[in-house]
Amino acid sequence: MKRSLFIPSTALRACFLLSSFIFSCTPASGQSTPQIVNVYATASASPWLEELFACAADLSAVLNVSAESPDILLRVGEPPGLVTPAFQVGTEDLVVITNNARPPILSADQIRRIFTGQITNFNQIVAEWEEVHPTQTDGIHVWVYSGGEDIQTIFEQVFLDGRSVTSYARVAVHPSDMLKRIAEDENAIGFLSRRWLGKDAFEQMNAASVPVLALTPSEPTGIVRDLVACLQK
């Protein structure tokens, strides 16, 4: 549950800075000014922002969500060549999903072969599958993310053992887009972080459990250190 900081209405005036996604309050004279912290999260880690906002409320901090030079960056998995401080604040599952229309149950090896292009239709998994399921005769539609996305990098490293996905894969622009594409296509397969998983897709398997990290540009101090510590509780 998201927590909120209570300040008597007589001691503040509300102000909304919609252009930078800040909601803050200006306290009356004599009260300390809340500290503003720039934060950002990758699409797959964005559900964790709710917990960060709850920590900010407890610590009387104001968060400005911005991709430009964030003080705290939340992401799934460790980026290649990491040189800045990183703190694990949780764990996230990478879940392989298919359409809800009674898909065949796939093994981990079959899923790897699908994503690398070695299996291209369900008949290669279950004999005469497409004959029994005439709406699934168009081959398997593999959905992935762009190569720069944290979840795509981790999926290839951890689950595909460093192999690249098939060149015929289609690219989802966001986890919500991935979920929509899979829900609308009986031939589709994809993956997302568990916190994005809803009832619109069938979970084939948990491909990997990976750390959720809070990255800071330097060793955190003050309110940034306190926010990271709060996320780790």
User: Whole-model pTM?
Assistant: 0.81
Q: Has residue 11 got a pLDDT over 80?
A: no
Q: Which pLDDT value is given to residue 139?
A: 87
Structure tokens at 210: 């990976």
Q: Which pLDDT value is given to residue 131?
A: 67
Q: Which pLDDT value is given to residue 18?
A: 30
CA 61 to chain centre: 24
What is the pLDDT averaged over residues 193-208? 94
Q: Has residue 17 got a pLDDT over 60?
A: no
More confident residue, 151 or 122: 151
The sign of the dihedral angle between the CA atoms of 109, 144, 146, 69 is negative
Structure tokens at 226: 């306190």
In sequence order, the β-bridge partners of residue 72 are 39
Least confident of 3-7, 117-121, 183-187, 218-222: 3-7
User: Which residues have CB under 8 Å from 80's CB, separation 6+?
Assistant: 153
Q: What is the mean pLDDT of the chain?
A: 86
Q: Has residue 28 got a pLDDT over 50?
A: no
Write down all domains in the chain, each with its CATH number in brackets: 9-90+212-232 (3.40.190.10), 91-210 (3.40.190.10)
